[in-house]
Structure 1
């Protein structure tokens, strides 16, 4: 396996892809259509979380399937929906399209997802979250970057390739657009089992990551894993008057604050014993860049220790992402009997997600204050991953990124998680994995005012089209 440190690639665009000029012109000419298709998808609020109308996810899948059929490339296009193994409940719809390889050419699996995160508080958006809005060279809206742009990148690259060839490609192409990636891909194991042969490929391109900046492309070579669960902290069987009993019995909020504070050291790094870090070099990245990219307020200080990028790429982290407790508006003078919080942990490459969870669970039980009772539910685990970049696919990808962007690409880690990649590798151990994407540091995926930089979209489409063209000329 190749080294996994983040660094500038040594790629120097060693070869020019055959038909590159034609592809460049076709991608540019096809960009308005790609943006229009993206806008159509963004208008469908396909939130996959429980509690949201999943009819929108169905509508989104139907639209993606329609767009896939319109390419005229695939032998078959279907919408698949399978049960979640743990619960038996039906998962959310994915789109699977396939064309067989001809004349000994490789097969490539193009992955993206059409489901999105909830919009959150609409008051924090500068425009409606599900109404794509162009401001400058950025298109704003939920899913513009994560990951409906990935869907559009694949479709536009396929169209450019077939137009340049003037005939059907000999390359085998599988398009797999998942419908519940934002809700932890719960039905994916069943999909991989039931559709194993249809999804089989020599190379898998996962278009769900980002780039170094607006001018520099990146191949993602490291991902943290994920551990998430709901933790309930209880101290009373019912609420009681805070004046009458305050100071004598502990309320759940007091216990929750005391318990959660034990998860971190004074510098904000994790304090849970047994959570490990991965050691790897990272590019130069200073505090000023961190402040610029994150909006860190004046006077607020970064947390953790070590190189800044190592903290988010290669070290474990724990975040409380939600709290169920009385709102300020509904606050009464009572001691709260129970509080529920959502814990989100990120697992450094090299540590098993189950082990991470067990260490965290043991810490919580050991440090529960005032005899508070704890219960955990809705546990989700996703493994960390390090990409093997030693094969021909990674070399070609780095070359074509350089060719499309005009600057050498960076191989970088990611603080985010794409847990299903470990499942793909387990099912298809011989497949070469490439993690690409269209996001940039200001894309704000998952956050209000998510957006897509349209020049980046064009370069991402061209990079993939050039890569598909090389694959179409490759014999296995």
Structure 2
């Protein structure tokens, strides 16, 4: 299927050449952002997040955004909000985040001193999501430079840029931020630059996200720890009982066994098992869990993981029966599943499975809604922009992870189109050691976003995209 942009060949060529000629500056500015250790986790210095916000604000001002502010709500991290009035059609909100995950262990180089190896820039935040920030900055630079070179030939939409500073800790004050500043974030199209492409060289629009429910399950058996030799037998320790309870959450095939969870159809994409194994780092010789196609298991069905256990450490173990044990459960939900209903289903399962030999308590945690995007003129424009920038057709994918704030954006802008894009790829290792971004893909992402903004300004939302 061929998609076309409502832009002249000369304009598309001029944007392509302009971005190629100035991309070295985008790369240099990304490296400077990576050098700011803007970890938003509570154990790290928040001054670095503030410094990162200031750096992003300066980049947007230098790119030509006339209104740039650093804003926050009580208890929240600094966010950058910028706006430029348009002389063309439409209003586009560009989202990214400037905070990053803790560096962790296992890096081949300093995580906050970017290095380039084989066309990739390595550093914490290089992909997630400071590359998203620079995709916005680079696109705005290119468009304003072209508009200045040919006055009147490139009508642009109104552009608002929102770059938050607490996404990596779950955007805890995002709802409050929307209540305070939401009127300034309304738009016809929202571009969220915080996702991934299908492969290097194959651009993708993310059309579904799984929701999220997490909780801590606690098992109590005794008032205090007791001697395992003197009392073991009539009493099973809390750790054993917790493990037995957790084992009921999956069936023998590895599918989630909690009743009442939804399932939705997924994109019809070929995802070879050997490719998945390599990308996920599955150990040789092991079989995969669950049933259905890989996209079905990754995007359309629930998944449940035990991401933490509080129990006696092996090197501190004594011959005693543990009186209490806890585990943190992370459950990903099919797009469209109500998180409250899923949490209730998890609680009902654990209560039904709990034996009379222990006391089970569920402590609810974070909830997040998933996302399922409808097809429309904005997504057609995005696919057309991808095809122009990459020189090949784009695909639609789901993402197994969750971005809960998108549900808040949908609530704020119920009539707007949400486009989830990104510059990551399966080798980016976001959140892990040796995180990186493919610089060639970033340049194409800058071009695609510039083309999308130009197409909206040219009235592409009202007329759709012609197809041959």
TM over 0.5: yes
- Find the residue that maps to 2:315 and give its secondary structure: coil
Give me the CA root mean square deviation. 2.0
1:137-286 → structure 2 map (5 Å cutoff): 137-166=119-148, 170-286=156-272
Structure 1 Cα separation of the partners of residues 199 and 301 of structure 2: 22
Q: Report Cα offsets for 1:353-384 as digits up to 9, x if no partner.
A: 11111101111222224533333446111111
Change (3 A) 1:332 1:186: same
Q: Name the stretch that deviates more: 324-333 or 133-142.
A: 324-333
Is 1:23 equivalent to 2:19 in the alignment?
no
Q: Report Cα offsets for 1:276-312 as digits up to 9, x if no partner.
A: 1112442122211211221211111111111111100
Q: Report Cα offsets for 1:411-445 as digits up to 9, x if no partner.
A: 11111111111111111111111111001111121
1:75-474 → structure 2 map (5 Å cutoff): 76-83=67-74, 90-102=75-87, 105-120=89-104, 122=105, 124-166=106-148, 170-369=156-355, 371-377=357-363, 379-391=365-377, 393-474=378-459
Tell me by how many angstroms 1:340 deviates. Answer: 2.8
- Find the residue that maps to 1:68 and give its secondary structure: helix
Aligned to 1:72: 64
Tell me by how many angstroms 1:218 deviates. Answer: 0.6
Structure 1: runs of 5 or more not aligned: 1-9, 84-89
Task: Answer yes or no: is the 8 Å Cα contact 1:226–1:382 preserved in 2.
Answer: yes
Structure 2 Cα separation of the partners of residues 337 and 131 of structure 1: 46
Aligned to 2:465: none
Structure 1 Cα separation of the partners of residues 361 and 102 of structure 2: 26
Q: Report Cα offsets for 1:84-143 as digits up to 9, x if no partner.
A: xxxxxx1222111112233x52111000111222233x1x22223333222211112221
Task: Answer yes or no: is the 8 Å Cα contact 2:65–2:82 preserved in 1.
Answer: no
Change (3 A) 1:252 1:59: farther
Q: Name the stretch that deviates more: 318-327 or 329-338.
A: 329-338
Task: Answer yes or no: is the 8 Å Cα contact 1:113–1:147 preserved in 2.
Answer: yes
Q: Name the stretch that deviates more: 336-345 or 203-212.
A: 336-345
Structure 2 Cα separation of the partners of residues 48 and 21 of structure 1: 40
Task: Answer yes or no: is the 8 Å Cα contact 1:227–1:353 preserved in 2.
Answer: yes
Task: Answer yes or no: is the 8 Å Cα contact 2:266–2:299 preserved in 1.
Answer: no
Task: Answer yes or no: is the 8 Å Cα contact 1:39–1:132 preserved in 2.
Answer: yes
Task: Answer yes or no: is the 8 Å Cα contact 2:64–2:140 preserved in 1.
Answer: no
Task: Answer yes or no: is the 8 Å Cα contact 1:282–1:310 preserved in 2.
Answer: no
Residue 45 (structure 1) aligned to one of 32, 37, 41? 37
Task: Answer yes or no: is the 8 Å Cα contact 1:15–1:399 preserved in 2.
Answer: no
Tell me by how many angstroms 1:452 deviates. Answer: 0.8
Normalised by the length of structure 2, the TM-score is 0.92
Task: Answer yes or no: is the 8 Å Cα contact 2:208–2:397 preserved in 1.
Answer: yes
Normalised by the length of structure 1, the TM-score is 0.90
